[in-house]
Amino acid sequence: MNKNSLEVNGGRLWDTLEASGEIGKLRGTGLRRLPLSDADKQMRDIFCDWARKAGCEVAVDQVGNIFARRPGSDDSLPAIATGSHLDTQMCGGKYDGVLGVMSGLEVIRTLNDLGLETKRPIELVVWSNEEGARYTPPMQGSLAFVGDLSLETVLSSEDADGLRFGDELRRIGYDGARPLGESKFEAYLELHIEQGPTLDRTGIDTGIVVSGFKSHGLRIQVTGNTAHVGPTPMDERQNALVGAAHLITAVDAIGWQHHPEGGKSTTPFISCFPNLPGIIPETAQLTVDFRHPEPEMADQMLAEVKAAMDAAAAKANVEMAIIDSWTFGDNPFSDICLKALEDTADTMGISYMEIRSQAGHDAYAIGKVAPMGMIFTPCTGGVSHNVEESIELDKTLNGVNLLLNTMVNMANR
């Protein structure tokens, strides 16, 4: 790396990640730190303490997003921001989201070590509920920040036990006063593990994200009729679960068909009612997710899934309807940030590759209100959303240093 480039303290970053990895520990190597849980509160408290000790002002907004701000020499200017999330999946790893937050903290700590003041303020954000493992949709905090979800919608969402987001937020003491969307960003840069195998396999440690995979999500209701499993003849049944199963296998086949070009499709969620011995299922619900690097092919997959719904419904003599749908990842990335990241990487003399993001990220929503870019770092074997998720510090540091130097460059413009 060019000797004029700034460098973070890798050992300190690692210690910070390890400390975070103790809070909500699961199955030895992983984390279950669901949003607004006791573990989330504990992690938030420690993060706020760390941020204040690093000289930041800390504010919390009405959905619990945390904003830690390092003042600039012209503090009236919009900040250069970074951030990610501290909540995890049900059986998640220690780095998904967490690395981005702790890298942002390490940027601020390094600037303090070096006594460097920036013209614009630096702002580090922890977004509420990125994963959607307890409250849906995922990326609730960033979507609310940019106005894509209303405050009321977020606060009234319920978990599987019927506990309201607003009540749980108050319980853990993160029902902040700051109105949504108050922070203004000159640019937003998010560092994240890739969650895919490309960097790990190519041996290039730093990815600069150029676009997302267009992703469609559908919630599908299957309606049949219940009856006794014993005496009801096969030809008089309207078995909702059989309809759902035909659709699940068809969705999987659609993913395989688009696999050569990088397409994927998944049914990550099913519910079935009454779901009891002796009864033919009356209704089922599925969530279907499909993604493709070419937006028009993602739209074609949507048409194929709709046709598969009709075929599956006919096979099982049931009805199927789309009751909710969403789309994300449709090119929210900014040329301004891409150029700043690539110019900085070139100046630093680090190797990088342009890469596409296949997962959802808070950055996508922020792209609506500010120029946005992302840096990816490798995770072993591309594994994430799994307690086996792991990273190597050596392969991560170039990306973190790229974040540091790019933020400083942009903050001094």
Choice from 19, 229, 307, 311 touching a second copy (CB under 8 A): 229
Of 274, 324, 335, 354, the one binding a second copy by CB under 8 A: 274
Within positions 20 to 49, which residues make up the interface with a second copy, using CB under 8 A?
none
Q: How far apart are CA 100 and CA 357, in angstroms?
A: 15
In this complex, which beta carbon is closest to a second copy, that of residue 286 or of residue 404? 286
Q: How far is the CB of 208 from a second copy (least distance, A)?
A: 16
- Binders of a second copy in range 301-320 (CB under 8 A): 316
Contact 206, 224 (CB under 8 A): no
| Residue among 278, 296, 303, 394 that touches a second copy (CB under 8 A) | 278
Q: Which of 41, 192, 292, 385 touches a second copy (CB under 8 A)?
A: 385
Closer CB to a second copy, residue 15 or residue 324? 324
Residue choice 270, 322, 336, 369 for contact with a second copy (CB under 8 A): 270
Tokens linked to 51: 């941020």
Decide if 227 contacts 391 (C-beta within 8 A): no
Match 């997962």 to its residue by tokens: 359
Is residue 281 within 8 A of residue 227, CB to CB? The reply is no
The residue within the footprint of a second copy, chosen from 120, 264, 292, 395 (CB under 8 A), is: 264
Using CB under 8 A, count the residues that bind a second copy.
Answer: 73
Q: Which stretch binds a second copy (CB under 8 A): 35-43, 102-110, 182-190, 378-386?
A: 378-386
Stretch of 16-24, 39-47, 112-120, 271-279 lying at the interface with a second copy (CB under 8 A):
271-279
Give the one residue of 51, 241, 375, 397 binding a second copy; rule: CB under 8 A.
241
Only one of the segments 109-117, 145-153, 254-262, 336-344 lies at the binding site for a second copy (rule: CB under 8 A); that segment is: 254-262
Among 276, 296, 303, 394, binds a second copy (CB under 8 A): 276
- When binding is defined by CB under 8 A, the residue of 136, 140, 377, 401 that contacts a second copy is 136
State the nearest-atom distance from the C-beta of 366 to a second copy, in Å: 18
Nearer to a second copy, 178 or 315 (CB): 315
Residue 313, classed as helix, strand or coil, is: helix
**Given 64, 83, 138, 378, the residue binding a second copy (CB under 8 A):** 138
Angle between helices 98-114 and 38-53 (to 10 degrees): 20
Give backbone dihedrals phi and psi of 56, rounded to 5 degrees, phi first: -85, 150
Instruction: Please classify residue 78 by burial: count the beta carbons closer than 10 Å to its beta carbon, then call 0-12 exposed, 13-18 middle and 19+ buried.
Output: middle
Tell me phi and psi for residue 306, to 5 degrees.
-60, -40
74-103 positions binding a second copy, by CB under 8 A = 89-91
**In sequence order, what DSSP letters do the residues of 226-280 get, joined into one string?**
--BTTTS-GGG-B-HHHHHHHHHHHHHHHHHHTGGGT-EEEEEEEEEES--TTB-
Q: How far is the CB of 116 from a second copy (least distance, A)?
A: 35
Among 221, 386, 390, 409, binds a second copy (CB under 8 A): 386
DSSP letter at 237 equals -
Phi, psi of 390, rounded to the nearest 5 degrees: -150, 160
Token pair of 66, please? Answer: 């945390």
Binding segment for a second copy (CB under 8 A), chosen from 6-14, 352-360, 393-401, 404-412, is: 352-360
Taking CB under 8 A as the criterion, the residue among 202, 268, 306, 346 binding a second copy is 268
At residue 88's C-alpha, the angle toward residues 83 and 90, to 5°, is: 165
Reduced to 3 states, what is the DSSP secondary structure of residue 230?
A: coil
Which helix or strand (DSSP H or E) is residue 307 part of? Answer: helix 295-316
Among 196, 293, 332, 373, binds a second copy (CB under 8 A): 196
Tokens of 155: 């606060």
What whole-number distance in Å separates Cα of residue 126 and Cα of residue 65? 6
225 binds a second copy (CB under 8 A): yes
Nearest to 370 by CA among 93, 64, 120: 120
Q: In angstroms, rounded to a whole number, what is the distance separating the alpha carbons of residues 187 and 41?
A: 28
Does 162 help bind a second copy (rule: CB under 8 A)?
no
Instruction: Dig out the tokens for 317 from the structure.
Output: 């003599």
135 binds a second copy (CB under 8 A): no
Q: How far is the CB of 413 from a second copy (least distance, A)?
A: 33
Q: Side chain identity at 106, as an amino acid letter?
A: E
123 phi and psi angles, rounded to 5 deg: -130, 135
Binding segment toward a second copy, per CB under 8 A, in 55-63, 149-157, 276-284, 292-300: 276-284
Q: Report the DSSP beta bridge partners of residue 218.
A: 288, 325
